[in-house]
Amino acid sequence: MKLVIKPEKGFGKIEIELGEELWSGIKKLSEKYAVPPERVIEIALLGEFKMPKGELEELEKKVEELEEKVWELEKEYAPLRFKAYGVSEDNKILAIELSGLIAENNQLKRFLRLKPERNLELRKLISYYLQ
């Protein structure tokens, strides 16, 4: 790969041919730290490295332990989330049925020449469960 470095002002651009091995290393670093490859090269050229505070191996072990705890909690709460989803879907179905029954009830009251009721609280509750 060909790397071109241009100054902010002036004409002195530099062209460098990078080997495939070096370019793949740069790509791995950019993916690992979620930065563009250009930024990785810039950091390497300017020497803006940050040395980790403390032992890196200790920090990695702590991260692994925390990941294990997260997965344990995920296993514990996944069935509860599934049940909650089922209950929310049931509530939606019941809200649809209730809305239909209210409409039918209002039609019957109109047929019987009675005054239909406008229960706003119930309609708000139905719209809440339909969302």
* 107-117 pLDDT, tens digit each: 999 999 998 88
Task: For the chain, give every domain's residue range.
Answer: 2-46, 56-130
DSSP string, 10-43: SS--EEEEPPHHHHHHHHHHHHHHT--HHHHHHH
Q: What does the longest C-alpha to C-alpha distance in the chain come to?
A: 92
The structure's pTM equals: 0.47
* 41-52 pLDDT, tens digit each: 878 777 766 776
CB 3 within 8 A of CB 41: yes
